[in-house]
Structure 1
Amino acid sequence: MTRPVVEVHGLTRRFHGPERPPVLDRIDLTIHRGEFVALLGRSGSGKTTLLRTLAGLDPVTEGRATVPERRAVVFQEPRLLPWKKVWKNVALGLPGSAAEARRKAEAALAEVELTHRAEAWPLTLSGGEAQRTGLARALVREPELLLLDEPFAALDALTRLRMQSLVGELVQAHRPAVLLVTHDVEEALLLADRALVLAGGHLVEDIPIGLPRPRRRADPAFEALRLRLLGALGVDEDGHDAAARPAFGADSRQAA
């Protein structure tokens, strides 16, 4: 096993005072170099709070979180500066000379297949191109920890599939530790080495995904893991809330 890149012990996060349950309640988490971890949970379960804490955007007030200095975040929105061309968005904040920054930015854009858009303005990019630019901006910093906050949620289905494949390839090439926040169970199974489920402030599932790559949805083992994750999230195989589903015959008894 490679060395840990992320070590979290007893992490607790509160937003409503000590009388309310914490959003994160004594979380323990370790992520190793080259390990891809997917974090799932219902809306409001604290997934993004945990990601923001690891990114250094939220303070650690209870517990401990050890993360590397070299880390990068890709958000759901690309957050590009519209007054800077694509390559300058990628190079933003890089140390060294302007020529060296441009060389690194162009190399990162080549990895995400955007060399031809280096001189474009962000407002002329498609959604997929903008998100690939955001990914290049993250990877150009050679992060030890890559944090992905639902980066494909706003994309159309075909673009999302292409981006998932691209991210999988780039992570295999660069080998950072990765935490992906997602609502998409299939996305987690396609990309991750482990899937975590966050509920009630706790990590209630930590499931290894030992499927061979490339992964196929038609694989019976893939389907078994999908159903297990859906069950952990409290939904049935069709994506319906299992807790809200009436018991058999309940509707007819009420109608009677």
Structure 2
Amino acid sequence: MNIEVPSTYEEVIAAAEKIKASGMMENPYAGAFKSGWNLGQEFVNMYLGHGGEFFKSGTAQPNVNNAKGIAALETIKKLTELSNPDFLTQDTNAVKEEWESGNVALMHVWNSAAASLLDDEGDQSIKEDTRLAPSPTVGGGSKPATTLWWDGIGIATNTSDANAEASFRALVGAAQSSDLANNNLMLLYRLIKGYEPGDTAGPVVDAANRGTSPYPSFPPYEPYAWSIKHRACGILTRKRVCRKSVGRC
């Protein structure tokens, strides 16, 4: 159909609409829109992509009841209209199943879960036609509409200082090994010397290089986030996008 790989969500929507209009697929797009945490996380991604700030400057006062919050919801709503009607039941695993069944042409999925799309299991004809692309921008922004997540190291508090230090040194040493990274290209993403990203990690490295925001993990955000994430589905399932507030219509 001569559709270029989309680099913006506007292009994603246009591509999906073209595919749907052709009759090739009724629901060409899939995203992790499951009611609750998943759908809320899509709002987090899209709101940040629109340049939104979750708190008013210098305060812990919520700041999503604005034009960028509405724009984020409207973008998500357009995507859901091109998705399986049961989108509120679909998490990343369900989206992957849709892809591997050949039911969708475009999807947005957790990069850490994408490795299995390129492994040696399942329908290899689907694998051969699968490419992982960088996360799109939205609303004219320059940063991808996504967030970066990082894992850390935890050491028990009831161990001795000597054991804690030895454990920490061993773990950090292992994490800095280019052999570890390059022998697990489908699973690991390392910003360390000697690491060469594979097909799976490429979009993550691209997102980092383009200044993608980390997931907001500071203390005031968490209770606020859960409120957003558990209320977003009520807004999107109405016939209109709520223009009064993100949390309440």
| Structure with greater strand share of residues | 1
Give yes or no for TM over 0.5: no
TM-score normalised by L of structure 2 = 0.30
| Structure with greater helix share of residues | 2
